[in-house]
Amino acid sequence: MAERKENSTNSVNRKCIVESNDLSYAIDMVGGRWKLLILVNLEKKKLRFNEIRKAMSSITERMLTLQLRELEADGLISRTVYAEVPPRVEYELTEISTELIPIWKKLCAWGARHRKARA
């Protein structure tokens, strides 16, 4: 049987689908109201639970816990517990999430440009 020759529309479509999957995956990882914001706070240095909480005054403890857990499960942050009393837990970016820094910087810049352009 002869193979069907593909037209360019099909290959454009398929490429788009692959990109959509990669993008969906990325959105799953860092999407939502909080995740990127949490990561940004860890950009400069590792922080403890309460430090993140204070830095992001509008997040609740519960949400912060949930989001940190998901980020950890997805390998985007690492969590280190020090056996002290009271407990001390530090969160920091991983290699994988460090790769995102230039991306959120660009997003910030975009936001800054267009947020000003309205106001």
Q: List residues near a copy of itself by CB under 8 A.
A: 12-13, 16, 19-27, 29, 31-33, 36-37, 40-41, 44, 55-56, 75, 96, 99-100, 102-104, 106-115
Half-sphere exposure at residue 31, Cβ-oriented, CA atoms within 13 angstroms: 6
By CB under 7 A, residue 114 contacts DNA: no
CB of 18 to DNA, least distance (A): 21
As measured in angstroms, the least distance from the Cβ of 96 to a copy of itself is 6
Contact 11, 43 (CB under 8 A): no
> CB of 101: closest distance to a copy of itself in angstroms?
11
101 residue type, one letter: I
Examine residue 50 and tell whether it contacts DNA (CB under 7 A). yes
In the complex, the smallest distance separating the C-beta of residue 3 from DNA, rounded to whole angstroms, is 29
d(CA 12, CA 7): 9
- Count of C-beta atoms within a 10 Å radius of residue 71: 24
Task: State how far Cα 21 lies from the chain centre.
Answer: 16
DSSP 8-state code for residue 72: H
Interacting residue ranges for DNA, rule: CB under 7 A:
32-34, 48-51, 58-63, 65-66, 68-69, 79, 81, 85-89
